[in-house]
Amino acid sequence: MSDQITKCPEQEELRKCVFNQMPANELDAVKAHVKTCPKCRVSFTTILKEKVAKENQGIGPIPPATKTAADSPSKPAEIPSQKVDDSHSTQQKVITPVFKPAYPFLDPPTKAGGLGSLGDYELIRVLGEGGMGIVFEADDKKLGRKVALKVLRPELTDENFRQRFEREGKISSSIQDDNICLVYQAGVHKSVSFMAMEFLKGEDLDAKLKRDGWLPIPVVFKIAKQMALGLAAAHEKKLIHRDIKPANVWLESGGPGGDFKRVKLLDFGLAKSTEVESTLTAKGMIVGTPNYMAPEQICGEPLDERVDLFSLGCVMYRMLSGKIPFEKENTLAVLHAVVESEIPSLNDLDQKLPKEVYGLMTKLLSKNPADRPATAKKVVAMIEAIENSGLEGEKNKVLSSMLFKAPDIQRQKKTKIPVGAIVGAGVILVAVVIGIILLVFKFFDGTKN
């Protein structure tokens, strides 16, 4: 190619120019032509935008099109989707994808390194994914703050899913409480439903229990009391959560590995008003997580605030014991156990567990809602009464917390020896002693003769 171009370069040459993959003199000539040719300038800009957008989505550099004999001039060359890592032996080739997963429902990012944008939010990374939604760490470009952006999966086009998601946003944003995750905004952008929530540091209770097993009673009471305060705020709005479980209890902390400072209840997707009949749940349908559901929830009976208190009791049981309550081999067996079986005894785990703690657990896990505490505020009062029972002054409060012992779930139960066995062993021992004495006498009698 000469330094002066008299005709427009082909698309392949423009792509090589964008990616700086041609000799310097040819590169300068193409760029000079692009500056003076409106048609080529449009094509050049289109290729450049494609390159920048793909690189910002973390896909990496786009190779220029490679023309083959089978390709027609108008057909764009395909970008290879895989490459082979030749650093391994030929017997064990490792194939890695060139492209990272992308989210096609997002607009191109406005910052380098971002995943994309959705309305006023720049998405940084994925925090978690569930059956209905994806949660991203995002920057609110308008207000300049970090948020957790929950997005309904676009493939869930069913109107029921969309209504439930939008309803969760409205319910969550209506409850302003220190122990409930705050929702800043709920909306729709280009047919994609989203919720912008406060960005929380820390971990959920389920992750902590999977790592630590069980928790000391003062920690259990601190978590349970704040959960009850959050539930009380929801119940004042005539809302029941219906899905209280460790995964929906967030332990907020200042940073990784730090002690939690506050509990936040998450996910009001299954919340139900006690005043308005919801049309989103079919009559007779069971919603919730089986191991943490109340008997009346399973049986399809009318529900009130005490259904959440049973779930709270189940969460407390797991925190104290390290075991999932009513754990069985399948869901049907779990549902049957919740309705019919007695509470698995905590006394089997630690004989030193204070009877007041066991009494609170018994009340919360009562099969009959009438036998449970009447309100979440009552649960808070009961916990505080146990923490401070019969003690005065700060020193005694500290001593009280030291007396609370976490269950030693590794310890084997002491085996009780039956009284009959003890008596039998004593009789045998006496007989052996008498036999030895007789043998001694016989020995001396023989030596005298």
Q: Report the catalytic residues.
A: 243
Query: What is d(CA 134, CA 285) in angstroms, rounded to the nearest whole number?
Result: 25
Upper half-sphere CA count for residue 52 (Cβ side, 13 Å): 11
Q: Where are the beta strands (DSSP E) in 112-223?
A: 116-118, 121-129, 133-140, 145-152, 183-189, 192-198, 202-204
| Ordered DSSP codes for 376-409 | HHHHHHHHHHHHHTT--HHHHHHHHHHH-----T
Question: Quick count: other Cβ atoms within 10 Å of Cβ 306?
Answer: 24
| Ordered DSSP codes for 232-297 | HHHHHTTEE-S--SGGGEEEEESSTTPPEEEEEE---TT-EESSS--SSS-TT---S-GGG--HHH
Question: Contact at 8 Å (CB) between 306 and 369?
Answer: yes
Query: What is d(CA 118, CA 106) in angstroms, rounded to the nearest whole number?
Result: 6
Q: Are strands 183-189 and 249-253 parallel, antiparallel or unpaired?
A: unpaired
Residues in contact with 150: Cβ distance below 8 Å, sequence separation at least 6, in sequence order: 133, 134, 135, 136, 194, 195, 197
420 bridge partner residues: none
The CA angle 154-158-160, to the nearest 5 degrees, is 120
Question: Quick count: other Cβ atoms within 10 Å of Cβ 141?
Answer: 14
Q: In 299-341, where does DSSP find H-type helix?
A: 306-321, 331-340
Q: Are strands 82-85 and 94-97 parallel, antiparallel or unpaired?
A: antiparallel
Which residue in this structure is represented by tokens 């108008």? 74
Query: What is d(CA 150, CA 154) in angstroms, rounded to the nearest whole number?
Result: 12
Dihedral over Cα of 249, 137, 119, 105: its sign: negative
